Amino acid sequence: MAVRTLVLACLLVLAGCTTPLDPSTAASTPTATPVPADAPGGTATPTPTQSRSPTTTATSTATPATATPGENPWGTEPIVVAIENEGGRDRDFAALVREATRFWEKNDGQYLGFPVRYEVRPDAANPDLVVTFTPEIPDCGNVTDAVGCAPLLTDARQIDRPETVWVKTGLSDDSTALVTEHELGHTLGLTHADPPREVMRARSVLYTEPQPNATERAFPWPDGDFTVRVDAEDARDPAGAQSQVDHALTYYEDDPPGMPTNLTFERVGAETDAEIRIRFGPTPDCQASSGSCISTYGVDPDGDGAIETYTRVEITLVDLDTDAVGWHVGYWLAHAFGAEADGEKPPPFRDASGRERRSEWWK
């Protein structure tokens, strides 16, 4: 029997803790957080404007296609749907399954060409169909990133009751309902080429259940091994600036108090993307009066408009004395490693004077 899957297309990428990008967009203009060159740093917590990312929902198109009249492979009686939760925790999946079945009941004439009715009875003893919510989708046509799987049923002779639809756990309510609608569509004979496209297409943007934001995590990175790119050609003293950056990186490799341990840094060339980029010179968001700024980039898997895990940061240094470069880099690295408030940073970065910023603070 043929099976059909729905796979996760992408996670929204955010830049600068501001507005979510369109999933198809690769570039952005981040909002930077400045620290003056000499004045105390103050709070390092950005105050961005956040807006919620739109979730993909199942709605009718403005100019719907006309379904070809056919025959319901399930017959004329209501399809009894049971629910099995293998997700390891209590969650009200029944409401989401009912939302999915109502979609097809409401739109059966438009997209199916035959009437369909459901009875969702989570503990039904002899169901026609079981919707199973599971952390891992079983083998489904060798698709490795599937979030749902169902048999493609076009004829009553294909049905071996109870049939099973698989839906991955860990998705948001909207995304769970969408995947369930998609998989139920296959059990009603629809393929990935059939309307409604926003439901039946093979790949969709989906969101997870709520996750802690990067600003709420003790360490907001996938791991502690970093690549570092330093673009020092616009620094006052490029060689001196490189040396100052080295002092900041060595400081964190030596496990300062309150910081994550066992951090490593690998320098990469100017032509290579890096998780930490250090650059010199003003940008539209970080002017001469700023001193230094940081821009954070990462993924937003739960679609709340905030970064959950960092993928890279950019530290911008503007018109700084060479001997203050290391302090500014160290200050923003503490921010990037989870110490956004100055009181959480290592001692050298708490209310440092201009003289202290130019000292050998790393010793």
Helix (H) or strand (E) holding 4: strand 3-8
Can you read off the two tokens belonging to residue 189?
């004979």
What's the whole-number mean pLDDT along residues 190-216? 94
Quick: pLDDT tens for 280-311.
999 888 987 779 999 999 999 999 999 999 99
Rounded CA-CA distance 112/133 in Å is: 25
Q: Which pLDDT value is given to residue 38?
A: 57
pLDDT the model gives residue 282 = 92
pLDDT in tens, 309-323: 999 999 999 999 999
**Tokens matching residue 267:** 């320098």
Q: Residue ranges of the domains in the chain?
A: 17-49+212-357, 74-188
Output DSSP code: residue 328.
Answer: H
Can you tell me the mean pLDDT for 53-62?
30
Using the Cα atoms of residue 178, residue 179, residue 180 and residue 182 in order, give the sign of their dihedral: positive
Q: How many Å apart are CA 211 and CA 302, to the nearest integer? A: 6
Residue pair 262/255 in contact (Cβ under 8 Å)? The answer is yes
More confident position, 273 or 221: 221
Q: Is the pLDDT of residue 342 over 70?
A: yes
Number of H helices, E strands in the chain: 7, 14
**pLDDT at residue number 35:** 65
More confident residue, 270 or 181: 181
CATH topology of domain 74-188: Collagenase (Catalytic Domain) (3.40.390)
Q: Across 54-151, where does the E strand assignment appear? A: 79-85, 118-120, 129-134, 146-151
Rounded to two decimals, the pTM is 0.74
Residue 278's pLDDT is what?
97
The topology under which CATH files domain 17-49+212-357 is Collagenase (Catalytic Domain) (3.40.390)
The kind and range of the H/E element at 181 are: helix 173-187
Beta strand ranges found along 18-115 (DSSP E) = 33-35, 79-85
CB atoms within 10 A of CB 247: 17
* Within this chain, domains 17-49+212-357 and 74-188 share the same CATH topology: yes
Per DSSP bridges, beta strands 276-280 and 13-15 are: unpaired
